[in-house]
Amino acid sequence: MTDVHAPRPAEAGPDLSLRRSLPPDPGPLGRLLADPDDLTLANPNAAHPFDPVEWQEKWLGDPDDAAFYVTDPQGREVGFFALRVGVGPEVRHLAYLCLDPAYRGGAGRRMTELVREAAEALDALTVTLKVELDNAPALNAYRAAGYEELSRRRGMATLRLDLEDLAA
């Protein structure tokens, strides 16, 4: 996937673009997850401090998964997410989403657009994710983007977005 960069209306949030990390390069991700709380939020099972070898081999090593950096207009990596293969190749599971603190509080809409664009480019029909129930900004952004809640368990909500429904 090449950079997707087009001017965005102000109400869409910050001007962010998408760049596929192929092969997955955890280098910039280490900067984004330097704060232990951010690392735990992105992946509670990852070692502390951030270990690029662990991420390369364990968390981003599946050849069917896809990793993406979110970039600002200057091309600087300000966010990251992975779309892992779910139940069948037509389902992608959003994982490891993180965003530079300077871009939080207004980028939710744009981030959900970028996730959708990346999933569609991978020919996904559905995107699933888990989000902490106490993360109201994320829950609100996903719901506003059309995600439906499937279940709640252990402080987490499981959500799904059917991409075919959006195209109809």
Amino acid letter, residue 87: V
Q: Provide the pLDDT confidence category of residue 89 given band limits of 50, 70 and 90.
A: confident
Give the pLDDT confidence score for residue 108 in this predicted structure.
87
Asked, for residue 134, whether it belongs to a domain, the answer is yes
- Whether residue 47 lies inside any domain: the answer is yes
Tell me the mean pLDDT in the region 154-160: 96
Please say if the pLDDT value at position 10 is more than 50. Answer: no
pLDDT in tens, 97-138: 999 999 988 888 999 999 999 999 999 999 999 999 999 999
Report the predicted TM-score, pTM, of the whole model to 2 decimal places.
0.89
Which pLDDT belongs to residue 105? 83
Domain that holds residue 141: 10-167
Q: What is the pLDDT of residue 68?
A: 98
- Whether 71 is covered by a domain: the verdict is yes
Do 50 and 34 contact (CB within 8 A), yes or no? yes
Residue 123 resides in a domain: yes
Q: In this structure, is residue 46 part of a structural domain?
A: yes
Q: Is residue 141 assigned to a domain? A: yes
Pairing of strands 88-99, 126-132: parallel
The verdict on residue 2 lying in a domain is: no
- Structural domain contains residue 4: no
State the pairing for strand pair 17-20/126-132.
unpaired
Count of the separate structural domains present in the chain: 1
pLDDT score recorded for residue 8: 39
The tokens describing 116, both together, are 């959708």
Q: How far apart are CA 26 and CA 87, in angstroms?
A: 25
**How far is it, in rounded angstroms, from Cα 60 to Cα 11?**
33
What is d(CA 104, CA 99) in angstroms, rounded to the nearest whole number?
A: 7
Q: Which residue has the tokens 């991409």?
A: 163
CATH code for the domain in which residue 116 is found: 3.40.630.30
Q: State yes or no: pLDDT of 12 exceeds 70.
A: no
Alpha-carbon distance of 167 to 138, in angstroms, equals: 23
- In the predicted structure, residue 19 carries a pLDDT above the cut 90: yes
Calculate what percentage of the chain has a pLDDT beyond 70: 92
